[in-house]
Structure 1
């Protein structure tokens, strides 16, 4: 299925609010159903009041700060290399966020989480201080993490949970051959480049794949979509309520449990008697 922002019968832009063949990433319960109903209404408002239009993939020049992020990418890459020294111990995405199992249930999509929706991993940020400093240049930063696709990973077609944010991928490790590594957003197939950013709207159907024999890594960022009033107000409210939802709270709890084990193992190795 191809998903595009096409004019509705009223002449206003529209998006599909689901992905054919993929189970919705939502929970049962009255409060959750009520919240999802509000989200859909606000998403329609966001489409009408966007300051930057609603294309699936953006010209990165739309966001002047992107060039600053690209200039400093070698510092981010250097910190990533240290993280990947323990790549096998990093969590699979669905281990942190069980709802992701609807689109990925294997161990080939790993992540190193820095921050998301008001929550931070202080221990992980300590490992990547330059990356975190550079991330502060992004207006409306909501999520930052390393997204690691191991060889053979293919992420199924899906759409993101909410169109009030946009996504940036900064290429950090992009193996060859180019034609075996890509992301499709709506009907556009894009290829990552090391040191270059890709900005897109993950509320369009998208899928990504790494059919090479090496690991691909991008810096994965969500930032607030520039909107006019009143959409900007409702968007701010929803994004600040998100931290209280089961999606985010469960992910935060799983992240804390992983950190305890990961850093306890590192401490044990440091304190191991030398032969």
Structure 2
């Protein structure tokens, strides 16, 4: 039996185990054996990237990295290179034993750029989903002259915004302490939305009140709400579309937000400083390789798709009004379609980990596994509805052929 035949036999054997027996670990063993055959074919990189995702789900980060490295192997220009690089980064970011995963992520993307990959523009800009049409136009910090005009309106009315904040804060003992009656960031109990898992990068206490977006309660801050509705409707539009909430954000004393990147690059972030510790105590934000201070009553605008972190080494809280708004390089007409494409890509990224690549591409099976189509007989969809009768012949669990 030729090496090529052995390779394909093991691949199809794994497909049968995956779909017919739901014996996922045994299927992975078959594919790992197949991937070690001496076959020079770009298709093997598809299989390795899928295996990497399986190992990530199983929290076997060492094997996930091995698969990613083999998928790349000096071929950073492969169509699968962006997926392989993303899984490679995830193998560090999801590994609880890694103390500084962002350093590995930065190293990986720098290497990809050096190897000639055109998937990345800046190694610090590593959002989960990069909207490429605007990526080359992006910068990480926007100085005052580059900021939207409504930022000046926020600054002019910062005292009244601060009063709204203090009314919400009043149950706290003092402005030196975190408002423990506020929801904790990342708790998931008060919202879904773009920042649901922000708590995963937190060391210390971080609290929030959401005004617009998932879990929003605009009535809690009446003056701020009216001001935003008048001057920053684009920020409210983005929040209501699911692209990022508008919140009062309080970071506790001695707390840190570890380096991370936002989920997409369709927005900018504005912080209006409300309660800021003295500059004698370090309380700063780093965006890419720039450290910046906040100022009370002043707006800081940056692109959170670039790596950023926050340190509050003081004994005081840091409080800001945090807004996300549409990136200025996006045409108004493309905003919602771009966000929909990002959300669809995020959904398909999860589904892709359940749909192994086939030795012979089959668009009908791919569409069923990715939940783009339903069975005409039983209406089932997804990978669990798929069965394989023999190579290249697939059925729905109800018995109707998928190859049509």
TM-score, reference length from structure 1: 0.68
- What is the CA–CA distance in structure 2 between the aligned matches of 1:100 and 1:213, rounded to whole Å? 22
Following the alignment from structure 1 to structure 2, what is the Cα–Cα distance between the partners of residues 204 and 138? 23
What is the number of equivalent residue pairs in this alignment?
Answer: 214
Give the equivalent residue in structure 1 for 2:200: 102
What CA distance in whole angstroms lies between the structure 2 residues aligned with 1:149 and 1:228?
Answer: 31
Q: What's the offset of the Cα at 1:193?
A: 0.4
Deviation at 1:177, TM superposition (A): 3.5
Q: Does 1:88 align with 2:177?
A: no
Map residues 7-22 of structure 1 onto 2, 5 A cutoff.
Answer: 14-16=121-123
Q: Which has the higher contact order (CA 8 A, sep 6+)?
A: 1
**What SS does structure 2 have at the residue aligned with 1:213?**
coil
Report how far residue 228 of structure 1 moved: 4.9
The DSSP-based 3-state class of the residue aligned with 1:140 is: helix
Deviation at 1:199, TM superposition (A): 0.1
Task: Tell me how far apart the structure 2 counterparts of residues 13 and 139 of structure 1 sit (CA, whole Å).
Answer: 31
Aligned pair in 2 of structure 1 residues 13, 111: CA closer, same or farther (>3 Å)?
same
CA deviations 1:193-233 (Å, max 9, x no partner) are 0000000000110000111111110001000001255xx65
Q: Which runs of 5+ in 1 are unaligned?
A: 25-35, 247-275
- Identify the range of structure 1 (149-158 vs 178-187) with the bigger mean alpha-carbon deviation: 178-187
CA shift digits 1:21-58 (9 cap, x unpaired): xxx9xxxxxxxxxxx6xx43xx221224xxxx422110
Judge conservation of contact 1:177–1:212 (CA < 8 Å) in 2: no
CA gap of 1:240–1:135, structure 2 versus 1, over 3 A, is: farther
Q: Which is higher, the Rg of structure 1 or of structure 2?
A: 2
State the SS of the aligned residue for 1:89: coil
- 1:105-127 superposed Cα distances (whole Å, 9 cap, x missing partner): 65x100011112xx462xx3222
Q: Secondary structure at the match of 1:88?
A: coil
1:156-199 CA-to-partner distances (Å, cap 9, x unmatched) read: 00011111000000000002144510000011100000000000
Q: 1:191 aligns with which of 274, 288, 293?
A: 293
Residue 127 of structure 1 corresponds to: 220
Q: Following TM superposition, by how much is the alpha carbon of 1:13 offset from its aligned partner in structure 2, in angstroms?
A: 7.9
Contact 2:211 2:220 in 1 (8 A): no
RMSD of equivalent CA atoms: 3.2
Which of 154, 179, 185 is the matching residue for 1:69?
154
Is 1:216 matched with 2:318? yes
Residue 44 of structure 1 corresponds to 132
Higher share of residues assigned strand: 1
TM-score scaled by length of structure 2: 0.47
